[in-house]
């Protein structure tokens, strides 16, 4: 599987979602979404976290950067879709553990998954509000004891990645950080309609729905400029 370094961020470019997931399963990897913001605002710490794991092109910015680096065929892989692809493909043979979101959101997520994927084995779940070292230790011990094949953590970066790394030391498995994907899945946060997604305009839809994001979008202009000037 090809990969390139984008502003110090190692980003893989699988030929398909299936290839990415199979590689991650086989090598017990932590999947980390890489987008324009993570590339542009990369710090020494954030680079180390992504480079220790398996960064994949979650947004069009990462796709554009990989193409600029010479990879002709790049597949955009939205993390909010990838975790459901994993469940769809593997729920009959593998077990799952979910962490993240508010209590009502994680409960709704589990309920919806059980309806959509009959027979799915969710060994346990908990919300993303881990307030003490004791709670973190209890979570790690529970996952290590139950030994799920797949662990999803939806807490936002870099918090979710650091937690997944701590858990992985006790229990190797496939891990994926999901950010706000549980909120999107349950309908508590709207994702862009299919036309906007298909035409790579999710960023524009979010800007229309939430004009306060304009400051973040200005950074994308800087990203494109640096990309065109071959400075990433």
Domains and CATH numbers, the chain: 79-189 (3.40.50.10660)
What whole-number distance in Å separates Cα of residue 224 and Cα of residue 62?
A: 11
Transcribe 126-190 into DSSP letters. Answer: E-S---SHHHHHHHHHHHHHH--SEEEEES-TTHHHHHHHHHHTTS--EEEE-TTHHHHHTTSSP
Of 106, 55, 58, 54, the closest CA to residue 79 belongs to: 58
pLDDT digit string, tens, across residues 131-145: 999 999 999 999 999
What whole-number distance in Å separates Cα of residue 225 and Cα of residue 232?
A: 10
Transcribe 6-57 into DSSP letters. Answer: ETTEEEEE-SSHHHHHHHHHHHTPEEEEE-HHHHHT--HHHHHHHHHSEEEE
pLDDT at residue 211 tops 70: no
pLDDT at residue 192 tops 70: no
pLDDT digit string, tens, across residues 26-67: 999 999 999 998 999 999 999 999 999 999 999 888 999 999
Average pLDDT, the chain: 90
Is residue 79 within 8 Å of 58, Cβ to Cβ? Answer: yes
| Angle between helices 79-90 and 17-27 in degrees, nearest 10 | 70
Over the range 108-147, which residues count as b (16 or more CB within 10 Å of their CB) and which as e? bbbeebeeebeebebbbbbbbebeeeeeeeebbebbeeee
Our CA angle for 92, 32, 22, nearest 5°, is: 40
pLDDT at residue 172 tops 90: yes
What predicted TM-score, i.e. pTM, was given to this entire model?
0.88
- Bridge partners (DSSP) of residue 55 are 32
Is residue 49 within 8 Å of 211, Cβ to Cβ? Answer: no
């Amino acid at each position: 599987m090809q990969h390139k370094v984008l502003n110090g961020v190692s980003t893989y470019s699988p030929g398909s979602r299936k290839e990415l997931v199979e590689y991650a399963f086989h090598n017990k990897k932590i999947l980390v979404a890489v987008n324009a913001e993570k590339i542009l605002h990369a710090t020494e710490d954030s680079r180390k976290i992504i480079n220790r794991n398996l960064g994949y092109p979650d947004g069009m910015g990462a796709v554009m950067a990989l193409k600029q680096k010479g990879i002709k065929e790049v597949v955009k892989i939205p993390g909010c879709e990838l975790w459901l692809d994993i469940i769809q493909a593997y729920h009959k043979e593998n077990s799952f553990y979910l962490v993240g979101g508010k209590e009502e959101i994680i409960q709704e997520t589990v309920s919806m998954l059980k309806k959509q994927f009959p027979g799915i084995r969710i060994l346990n779940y908990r919300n993303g509000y881990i307030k003490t070292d004791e709670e973190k230790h209890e979570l790690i011990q529970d996952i290590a004891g139950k030994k799920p094949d797949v662990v999803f953590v939806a807490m936002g970066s870099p918090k979710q990645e650091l937690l997944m790394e701590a858990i992985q030391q006790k229990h190797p498995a496939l891990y994926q950080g999901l950010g706000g994907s549980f909120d999107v899945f349950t309908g508590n946060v709207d994702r862009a309609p299919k036309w906007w997604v298909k035409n790579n305009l999710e960023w524009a839809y979010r800007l229309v729905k939430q004009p306060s994001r304009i400051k973040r979008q200005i950074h994308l202009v800087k990203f494109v400029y640096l990309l065109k000037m071959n400075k990433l």
